[in-house]
Amino acid sequence: MSKQPSMFLNRELSWIEFNRRVLNEAARPDLPLLERLKFLAITASNFDEFFMVRVAGLRRAFRSGDLPYGPTRERPSEQLSEILRRYGDFVADQYRIHDEILTKLRQRGIRILGRDELSVGQRARLEQFFEEELFNVLAPIRVEPKRPFPFTAGLRLNLAFLLKGETLSAPAPSPQAVGEPEAAAAQESPLLAILEIPSYLGRFYELPAAEGAHDFIRIEDVILLFAERLFSGYHILEHLSFRLTRDADIPVDEEKEEDFVEAMNKILRNRRHSRRVRLELGARGASQLKELLCTELQIDPKVVFDCPGPLSLRDYFGLATQNFDRDLSVEPWEPVLTLPDEQNIWQTIRERDVLLFPPYHSFSPVVRLLKEAAEDPNVLSIRMTLYRTGGDSPIVEALIRAAETGKQVLVLVELKARFDEEQNLGWAQTLERVGCIVVYGVANLKVHAKALLIVRREEDGIRRYVHLGTGNYHVKTSRLYTDLGILSTKNEYTYEVAQFFNAIMGYSTVQHSHYIIMAPHHLKKKLLSLFEWLTNEAKAGVPARVRAKMNALADEDIIRAIYRAAEAGVVIDLNVRGICMLNPGHVPRAQIRVISIVDRLLEHARIFSFAAGEREELYLASADWMYRNLERRVELMFRVIQDEHREQVKHILDVLFADNTQAYVLKPGGRWERLTPQGNKAVRAQLVFHTEAEEWRKLQAERQEEGLTPRRRPST
The catalytic site residues sit at 448
CA distance linking residue 678 with residue 663, whole number of Å:
13
514 binds other proteins (CB under 8 A): yes
Contact string (CB under 8 A) for other proteins, positions 348-387, x = contact: --------------------------------xx-x----
Sign of CA dihedral 517, 522, 524, 527: negative
Pairwise CA distance, residues 558 & 285, whole Å: 51
Distance (Å) of CA 257 to CA 153, 251, 426, 581, 663? 26, 11, 19, 35, 46
507 contacts other proteins (rule: CB under 8 A): yes
Phi, psi (5° rounding) for residue 64?
Answer: -95, 40
Q: Which is nearer to other proteins, 9 or 623 (CB)?
A: 623
| Residue 646 and residue 561 in contact, taking contact as beta carbons nearer than 8 Å | no
Q: What are phi and psi of 312, to 5 degrees?
A: 55, 65
Residue from 508, 680, 709, 715 touching other proteins (CB under 8 A): that is 508
Which amino acid does the sequence have at 375? Answer: E
Stretch of residues binding other proteins (CB under 8 A), selected from 466-474, 488-496, 554-562, 564-572:
488-496
Shortest spacing between CB 513 and other proteins, in angstroms: 10
Q: Which is nearer to other proteins, 330 or 507 (CB)?
A: 507
Q: Residue 476, interface with other proteins (CB under 8 A)? A: no
Sign of CA dihedral 139, 145, 150, 155: positive
**Closer to other proteins at the Cβ: 174 or 508?**
508
The span of 169-177, 263-271, 494-502, 529-537 binding other proteins (CB under 8 A) equals 494-502
Helix (H, G, I), strand (E, B) or coil at 584: coil
Quick one: 463 or 697, whose CB is closer to other proteins?
463
> What residues contact 595, with CB distance under 8 A and at least 6 apart?
573, 574, 575, 576, 657, 659, 663, 664, 665, 666, 675
Nearest Cα to 313, choosing from 19, 13, 664, 17?
A: 19
Supply the DSSP string of 335-367, one letter for each residue.
PB-SS-TTS-HHHHHHHS-EEE-TTTB-SHHHH
| Sites for other proteins among residues 522-561 (CB under 8 A) | 522, 525
Phi, psi of 470 (to 5 degrees): -95, -5
Nearer to other proteins, 270 or 529 (CB): 529
Q: How many other CB atoms are found less than 10 A from the CB of residue 135?
A: 16
CB of residue 627 vs other proteins: minimum separation in angstroms? 17
123: buried, middle or exposed (CB in 10 Å: 19+, 13-18, 0-12)? middle
At its nearest, how many Å lie between other proteins and the CB of residue 499?
A: 7
Determine the Cα–Cα distance for residues 612 and 590; give it in Å rounded to an integer.
17
Q: Check binding of 455 to other proteins (CB under 8 A).
A: yes
Stretch that binds other proteins, among 157-165, 169-177, 452-460, 588-596 (CB under 8 A): 452-460
Please state the closest distance from residue 580 (CB atom) to other proteins, in A: 28
> Site residues for other proteins, window 403-432 (CB under 8 A)?
408, 410
* In the complex, minimum distance from the CB of residue 374 to other proteins, in angstroms, rounded to a whole number: 15
* Stretch binding other proteins (CB under 8 A), from 39-47, 385-393, 501-509, 660-668: 501-509
Q: Which of 27, 283, 510, 687 binds other proteins (CB under 8 A)?
A: 510
Range in contact with other proteins (rule: CB under 8 A) among 188-196, 218-226, 489-497, 668-676: 489-497
* 67 binds other proteins per the rule CB under 8 A: no
- Exactly one of 521, 564, 632, 650 binds other proteins (CB under 8 A); which one? 521
List residues bridging with 638 in a β-sheet.
Answer: 516, 620
Query: Least distance in Å: CB of 397 to other proteins?
Result: 21
CB of 434 to other proteins, least distance (A): 17
Q: How far is the CB of 447 from other proteins (least distance, A)?
A: 18
- Geometric angle at alpha carbon 608, from 604 and 610, rounded to 5°: 170
The residues in 646-665 that bind other proteins, with binding defined as CB under 8 A, are: none
Binding of residue 62 to other proteins (CB under 8 A): no
Q: Which of 136, 511, 691, 709 binds other proteins (CB under 8 A)?
A: 511
Cβ proximity to other proteins: between 98 and 383 the closer is 383
Q: In the complex with other proteins, which residue's Cβ is closer, 33 or 454?
A: 454
- Exactly one of 169, 298, 509, 678 binds other proteins (CB under 8 A); that residue is 509
Q: Which of 462, 540, 682, 701 binds other proteins (CB under 8 A)?
A: 462
Does residue 488 touch other proteins according to CB under 8 A? no
SS3 sequence of 49-92: HHHHHHHHHHHHHHHCCCCCECCCCECHHHHHHHHHHHHHHHHH
228 vs 170: CA distance, rounded Å: 15
Spatial distance between the Cα atoms of 88 and 301, rounded to a whole number of angstroms: 13
In eight-state DSSP terms, residue 625 is: B
Q: Compute the distance between CA of residue 467 and CA of residue 484 in angstroms, rounded to an integer.
A: 10
Contacts 24+ apart (CB under 8 A), 63-71: 70/8, 70/11, 71/7, 71/8, 71/556, 71/559, 71/581
Cβ 508 to other proteins shortest distance, Å: 3
Residue 499 binds other proteins (CB under 8 A)? yes
For residue 309, the SS3 value is: coil
Regarding 437 and contact with other proteins (CB under 8 A), the answer is: yes
* Alpha carbon distances (Å) from 13 to 18, 39, 81, 666, 672: 9, 19, 11, 13, 12
Task: For CA atoms 468, 470, 471, 472, give the dihedral sign.
Answer: positive
Task: Determine, following the binding rule CB under 8 A, whether residue 232 of this chain makes contact with other proteins.
Answer: no
CB of 461 to other proteins, least distance (A): 5
Is 223 or 439 the residue whose CB approaches other proteins more closely? 439
Q: Which residue's CB is nearer to other proteins, number 14 or number 499?
A: 499
Binding-site residue total for other proteins (CB under 8 A)? 32
Nearest to 191 by CA among 158, 163, 228, 229: 163
> 3-class DSSP state for residue 677?
coil
Residue 641 binds other proteins (CB under 8 A): no
- Output the smallest distance, CB 612 to other proteins, in A: 17
Task: Kindly state whether residue 681 participates in binding other proteins, applying the rule CB under 8 A.
Answer: no
Q: CB neighbours of 319 closer than 8 A, spacing ≥ 6? A: 34, 37, 204, 216
Does residue number 444 form part of the binding site for other proteins (CB under 8 A)?
A: no
512 makes contact with other proteins (CB under 8 A): yes
Tell me the closest approach of the beta carbon of residue 54 to other proteins, in angstroms: 30
Task: Pick the closer one to other proteins by CB: 297 or 437.
Answer: 437
Q: Is 461 in the site for other proteins (CB under 8 A)?
A: yes
For Cα atoms 404, 365, 435, give the angle at the middle one, nearest 5 degrees: 15
Residue type, 281: L
Toward other proteins, which CB reaches closer, 480 or 528?
Answer: 528
- The site for other proteins (CB under 8 A) is made up of 380-381, 383, 408, 410, 437, 455, 457-462, 464, 491, 494-495, 498-499, 502, 505-512, 514, 521-522, 525
